[in-house]
Structure 1
């Protein structure tokens, strides 16, 4: 009988050549092995060396040896992944990894050019992401968790294992006698994700054995609802203008104003307001009934200002706003 892992790999149809993110752990080891077997000479690997723990050099050497045995070209890229004040370690590492993927995929010396990137997140990772979002009071974007496929910077990204349980991946490797790295930081319960993995997932397994599948359905519903909100925001923004005209913005309901502003700030300025910031923006927009009403608020990584009849946003660390 074909395993869930094998079924996921057979259903995966990326544009080739394919770059696989390879940490050396169980999940990326299985994904890289299966991809290399299915598409010989069409797969490359990237190991991101975060340099955050003493074993990082050993991890890189393991990945080099493993890829050499598979005859898969490997790039080891060292990144600076230490988080800034107010930034989570996970966010800093994620940003550094994405920059590494972009640098390798856009390297002109690699021919033919990379068309797709595959990441080894699985069903348990998806549940952890949803539970993390719930602990933070996230809205629909957070409750949509991780997409199975998306485009960014001209590349197609894939997570082909999102429906596969972590246990199924490890069973697949055990059947083949394949060794993999175990990152000691994964057991450090100072990190919320690790506490979820160690404490909540076993309890959910015992109480609701099908929780991965039912949570995945809820994630799908949230993602679909968010897609509709994005469509509505794009339509409203076309009417209100970019940057938004205050009078036209005021003609919308409060919920549509909030939806439009989140969409505009993310799409045009790659920033996202907190719930408290957005509530204050809505209050100021409602109060803006005179020509002299002043608006200047911290929103996301920059400042939202009134400039004549429109709202605008700028980053004080870059260029100052125009007069």
Structure 2
């Protein structure tokens, strides 16, 4: 029965290619799916399958589990790759969330165009996911929990066993005399999911035997409502989206519609969604801030800022205003924090004058000197005023590379050149200040 259900799920959804990639942890659920997948491939040779074990490095047994997964996969006729990852903690992320993020990032590397990732979540996992969403106070998007099928990387992500109970999966494993690993962390009830699994779900199942189907149905309905909302808002969202990826919010929009558009915009960016309180801060403290304000809302590694009635989603970067690096003509200078590279390139056309022999050429990200006069301007102005006039958003004013000769500002990449450093028309050799963004 379980195998027929598995086959039905594979055939129920159109696959871009006939290549399936199993996320194999070696636990009961994925071990059973490996057996189901091996049977399926044997009966349908036009399909191809591989397995991937993600080594988080969180358990001393992980090396043993990895090798065991390779053995089980090979005995089933599949290749199993081992992906070693590092779980980045911080920014409020739990160990569970960090491991999950690292795992799916690693798995995405194995999904080529049209491929399908298979994971072994089941109906009991769905209950846990819904209860965790309730604990967080999630809306329909969160309560939709895990869909059976969703887009993933260059392909899609299918959960064929999402309607099956863990008890049925275990019965299959015992019946077919399968072996699997037991992750000791699954017994640690300090983790919320384990607490629900051991303390809450058994009580719910005893009291209401149909709870799995009921929760799955509610999650499905929430997903339908979220999909409908996304469809209804698609036109307004396209109208509000700007060429640079920012979101323009018009003055006459209602709070409810505005917040819904912001949620859909953030969802398109595939970021960790802000909480309701943070979303309200974006609306009331950023969108509705005074015109001359410089508002922002931060969460995780992200921030939303406003500039000229447009919202920008940005990563939070450490301050680099003290960073500087010497530059040699015709040699690229790599910038920090994925900002690309700059080059002072020798040229035969109009441009900057060559530096004098006693002038050290450097790149910096801050200027605290006197007023300056850009090329084409009639007089000098304060640096901050100039950046405002040249419409450089506040968060880019210390992330845009600046060229210095000695202690004198020469140019700001893609913004302006200081007038006194323009080469005379009689110069046969000049330099161009080029910024190549990542």
Structure having the larger proportion of residues in helix: 1
Q: Are 1:92 and 2:98 an aligned pair?
A: yes
Structure number with greater CO (CA < 8 Å, separation at least 6) is 1
Structure having the larger proportion of residues in strand: 2
Structure 1 residues 103-161: Cα deviation after superposition (integer angstroms, max 9, x where no partner):
2335xxxxxx8721100111111111001111111111110001111112211111000
**Which is further off, 254-263 or 73-82?**
73-82
Per the alignment, in what secondary structure is the counterpart of residue 21 of structure 2? strand
Structure 1 residues 213-259: Cα deviation after superposition (integer angstroms, max 9, x where no partner):
0111100110011112222332222333433334x1x3222111111
- Measured in 2, the distance between the counterparts of 1:36 and 1:304 equals 47
Once the two structures are superposed, the pairs formed by residues 19-58 of structure 1 within 5 Å of their partners are 19-40=21-42, 42-58=48-64
Once the two structures are superposed, the pairs formed by residues 156-305 of structure 1 within 5 Å of their partners are 156-242=156-242, 243-246=246-249, 248=250, 250-268=251-269, 270-284=271-285, 287-288=288-289, 291-298=291-298, 301-305=301-305
Instruction: Provide the aligned length of Structure 1 versus Structure 2.
Output: 312
**Which is further off, 26-35 or 279-288?**
279-288
TM-score by length of 2: 0.66
State the Cα distance separating 1:286 from its structure 2 match. Answer: 6.8
Gapped runs of 5+ residues in structure 1?
A: 107-112
- Measured in 2, the distance between the counterparts of 1:76 and 1:187 equals 25
State the Cα distance separating 1:261 from its structure 2 match. Answer: 0.8
Q: Are 1:131 and 2:137 an aligned pair?
A: no
State the Cα distance separating 1:176 from its structure 2 match. Answer: 1.2
- Measured in 2, the distance between the counterparts of 1:23 and 1:96 equals 14
- Measured in 2, the distance between the counterparts of 1:104 and 1:286 equals 40
Task: Report if the CA contact (8 A) 1:5-1:172 is conserved.
Answer: no
State the Cα distance separating 1:57 from its structure 2 match. Answer: 1.3
Per the alignment, in what secondary structure is the counterpart of residue 110 of structure 2? helix
- Measured in 2, the distance between the counterparts of 1:285 and 1:82 equals 29
Root-mean-square deviation (CA, aligned residues, Å) is: 2.3
**Alignment correspondent of 1:117:** 117
Choose the corresponding residue for 2:7, options 6, 9, 14. 9
TM-score by length of 1: 0.88
Gapped runs of 5+ residues in structure 2?
A: 318-336, 340-393, 398-438
Larger Rg: 2
Per the alignment, in what secondary structure is the counterpart of residue 185 of structure 1? helix
